């Protein structure tokens, strides 16, 4: 059985970037629902009980056809949100340092150019989905709760939830304001450790 992971900080810890109301709803309602529906989907398949969510998503095509859609959506939702909570932290923001900082600068010329490209992809994504920074430092987007894992790809370093439920109560239709504020809570130390490993 999968369980809802606890946040590493309080619901009100992200200050003006993401409100307590949004964090609490997003974690206790949206993420919890993905966990519950993932558990329901695999409950009739004891052979899947020991699989991690990454294994389920990477091996989606080998799963019983009847649950592929549910695992894709709810397993994806569980994985994506579990990462999302970790790439944010109170008092974070700033710029990546060390090896990751140098690699981003090497690939994008500057941190700001990287932010601009990531932001443009977030604003250009139609409908609900995610923007990802991959281990090769490419920036990709996915619809719904998909990610590169479904193609057997690498786990992302960083992900931004651009579903309306992630920002509408705080920013209404202004996705650009949400994305701009989100950079202030990105935990680059966590992302850099992920990159290093
Ligand atoms: Mn979400």
pLDDT in tens, 123-139: 999 999 999 999 999 99
| Residues 74-119 pLDDT 10s | 999 999 999 999 999 999 999 999 999 999 999 999 999 999 999 9
Tokens for 76, please give them: 């994806």
Residue ranges in 49-187 assigned as alpha helix (H): 53-58, 65-70, 76-86, 98-108, 111-124, 168-171, 175-182
CA distance 169 to 96: 29
The rounded Å distance from CA 27 to ligand 1 centre is 8
* Contact criterion met (CB below 8 Å) for 135 and 148: no
The rounded Å distance from CA 175 to ligand 1 centre is 14
Which pTM does this prediction carry? 0.98
The rounded Å distance from CA 172 to ligand 1 centre is 15
CA distance 119 to 50: 37
CA distance 86 to 106: 25
User: Would you state the pLDDT for residue 85?
Assistant: 98
pLDDT > 70: percent of the chain: 100
The rounded Å distance from CA 130 to ligand 1 centre is 9
* Contact criterion met (CB below 8 Å) for 141 and 132: yes
Rg (CA), the chain: 17
3.40.1180.10, 3.40.50.800, 3.55.40.20, 3.40.1000.10: which CATH number matches 19-197? 3.55.40.20
Tokens for 68, please give them: 């592929």
* Contact criterion met (CB below 8 Å) for 144 and 129: yes
The rounded Å distance from CA 49 to ligand 1 centre is 25
User: Would you state the pLDDT for residue 143?
Assistant: 98
The rounded Å distance from CA 150 to ligand 1 centre is 18
Tokens for 1, please give them: 């059985």
The rounded Å distance from CA 161 to ligand 1 centre is 6
Mean pLDDT on 141-164? 97
Mean pLDDT on 33-58? 97
The rounded Å distance from CA 160 to ligand 1 centre is 9
């Amino acid at each position: 059985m999968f369980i809802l992971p606890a946040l590493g900080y309080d619901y009100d810890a992200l200050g003006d970037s993401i409100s307590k109301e949004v964090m609490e709803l997003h974690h206790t309602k949206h993420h919890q629902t993905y966990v519950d529906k993932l558990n329901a989907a695999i409950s009739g398949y004891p052979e899947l009980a020991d699989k991690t969510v990454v294994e389920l998503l990477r091996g989606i095509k080998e799963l019983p056809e009847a649950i592929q859609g549910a695992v894709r959506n709810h397993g994806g939702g569980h994985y994506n949100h579990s990462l999302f909570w970790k790439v944010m932290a109170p008092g974070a923001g700033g710029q990546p340092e060390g090896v990751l900082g140098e690699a981003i600068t090497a690939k994008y010329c500057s941190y700001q150019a990287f932010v601009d490209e990531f932001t443009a992809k977030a604003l250009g994504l139609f409908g609900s989905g995610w923007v990802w920074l991959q281990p090769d430092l490419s920036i990709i987007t996915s619809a719904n709760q998909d990610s590169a894992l479904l193609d057997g790809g690498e786990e992302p370093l960083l992900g931004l939830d651009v579903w309306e439920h992630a920002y509408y109560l705080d920013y209404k239709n202004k996705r650009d304001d949400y994305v701009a504020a989100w950079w202030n809570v990105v935990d680059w130390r966590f992302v850099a450790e992920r990159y290093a490993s």
